[in-house]
Amino acid sequence: MAVIVLAAGKGTRMKSRQAKVLHPMAGLPMIAHTVNAVIRTGFESIIVVVGYQSEAVQMSLCGYPFLEFALQKEQRGTGDAVMSAMHLIGDDFEDVLILCGDTPLLRPDTILGLVEKHRRETGSVTILSARRPDPFGYGRVITEGKNVLRIVEEADAGSEEKGVNLINSGIYCIRTDLIRGLLGDLDADNAQGEFYLTDVVEKAHKMGRPAVSMEVGDPEEILGVNTRVDLARAETSIRREKTRDLMLDGVTIQAPDSVVVDQTVRVGADTVIYPNNYLFGGTTIGAGCTIEPNCLIADSVIEDGVRVRCSSVIEESHLEKGCSIGPFAHLRPGAHIASRAKIGNFVEIKKSHIGEGSKVSHLTYIGDTDVGRDVNVGAGTITCNYDGKKKHKTVIGDGSFIGSNTELVAPVKIGRKALIGAGSTITKDVPDGYLAVGRSRQKNLIKLNE
């Protein structure tokens, strides 16, 4: 079985400069959902037809090195798109499975069911179809008994044909010898001036090789994404399935419809996710964690037993076991929080390591800093890491205490078990075990009249 995925169109109804199949859905480009469904069927010969923004589409699928690509130089319809890929299909393939890159809800078991019916019942064409109460916009499947006579596109349908609610999904299984012979006979004599792949069905019927149809149980599965409304609808379906799978795997999700989880996210058992959370990209959350409301976590690793308190943002960071984050904390890319460490409210960490058991509890900025074990950083501490041209590093040794409202002007090193007095501006290194104070002396100048 050779597989062709059609992904050459622009998608004008999306009203976007970006190719339709590149629009992100639950952490992946739309086209990747279709490709993943095919991969799970076990079919290995997969050809993606590209056209509009072809290089960008290919780049979006660079994680699938086994894919082949065929270029449709001009977007002249689905028939022309399939024709552009046929030179990559050898004669040893008896059948060709044709899918659309804009049907991201298609399930692997549906694909396998279509292929099984095709091999069992026909030597011609098998169409995946569905019944919809409102078939507007879809091609209508015109049948006689169990055979399909033809498929009529919306723009070419008469009033009687528009009343048919059996719709075409754009997904077919076709005998290779048949499709090779019929593609050259297609013409563009239709309302769109395009070469319709659907015309193959009527031509096959006239040859005495009638097509059959397989109706999918859930019409939503063959939803074609043509507008931003369709995009939101399909993405909502994908995300609901993802949260359902997580809950079946032992994750507690309160108000699951309020939680947005990308397909690429992994969460361990006994983790509790409160409402209004956003989990994006390659995020991995371990077992027994708590994610309080209104957090955004992207491309981060969170180990077992971590508590992320409400309204925190975590990006490209690593949180080790048992640490506590927030509320209202911001971990920017490169933050690494060791086990049992605490990052409190209104703390921002960027490109820094916070050692095991250390505490940065309040109103602090830590950037380009290596903080040792069991360090206490007081409220209002700022690492001054940028001199206007370059970033510089701060090092704070194990067991040190940084008093409140301290400025550490990088590059600077604070030794082990050092103590920095509150309100200090530290511009020089502090040796191990030293008390350092860098502030103006207080003067009580005059008694005010009562």
Together in a domain, 247 and 143: no
CATH, residue 199: 3.90.550.10
- When divided into structural domains, the chain yields a total of 2
Q: Answer with the residue of higher pLDDT: 303 or 158.
A: 303
CATH, residue 376: 2.160.10.10
Neighbours of 135 (CB within 10 A): 21
Report if residue 279 sits inside a domain: yes
CA gap 331, 309 in Å, rounded: 13
Q: SS3 of 411, please?
A: coil
Q: Where does a domain end: 190, 222, 254?
A: 222
Q: Model confidence over 3-32: pLDDT tens digits?
A: 999 999 999 999 999 999 999 999 999 999
Neighbours of 428 (CB within 10 A): 9
Confirm whether 362 is a catalytic residue. yes
Q: Which candidate, 341, 332, 328, 316, places its Cα nearest to that of 368? A: 332
Rg (CA), the chain: 30
Is 120 a residue whose pLDDT tops 80? yes
Together in a domain, 325 and 398: yes
Amino acid 449: pLDDT: 80
Together in a domain, 244 and 207: no
The answer to whether the CB of 135 falls within 8 A of the CB of 167 is yes
Amino acid 402: pLDDT: 99
Is 191 a residue whose pLDDT tops 80? no
Report if residue 442 sits inside a domain: no
Point out the least confidently predicted range of 109-113, 194-198, 380-384, 421-425. 194-198
Report if residue 38 sits inside a domain: yes
The token pair that represents 366 in the structure block: 């830590």
**Which range marks the domain in which residue 334 is found?**
228-436
Amino acid 450: pLDDT: 63
Catalytic residue among 33, 353, 362, 392: 362
Together in a domain, 278 and 366: yes
CA gap 87, 101 in Å, rounded: 20
Report if residue 430 sits inside a domain: yes
Together in a domain, 233 and 248: yes
Cα–Cα–Cα angle for 300, 37, 201, rounded to 5 degrees: 150
Q: Model confidence over 128-144: pLDDT tens digits?
A: 999 998 888 889 999 99
CA gap 438, 428 in Å, rounded: 10
Report if residue 444 sits inside a domain: no
Amino acid 123: pLDDT: 73
Q: What value does the mean pLDDT take over residues 206-212?
A: 92
Cα–Cα–Cα angle for 322, 328, 332, rounded to 5 degrees: 75
Q: Where does a domain end: 222, 248, 274?
A: 222
Is 186 a residue whose pLDDT tops 80? yes
State the DSSP string of 240-255.
Answer: HHHHHHHHHTT-EESS
Q: Model confidence over 71-94: pLDDT tens digits?
A: 999 989 999 999 999 999 998 999
Across all residues in the chain, what is the average pLDDT?
96
Q: What value does the mean pLDDT take over residues 180-190?
A: 87
Together in a domain, 237 and 119: no
CA gap 324, 340 in Å, rounded: 7
Together in a domain, 134 and 149: yes
Q: Model confidence over 237-286: pLDDT tens digits?
A: 999 999 999 999 999 999 999 999 999 999 999 999 999 999 999 999 99
CA gap 429, 4 in Å, rounded: 64
Together in a domain, 243 and 390: yes
Together in a domain, 187 and 232: no
Together in a domain, 258 and 184: no
Residues of the chain with pLDDT > 90: what percent? 88
Together in a domain, 209 and 260: no
Together in a domain, 118 and 252: no
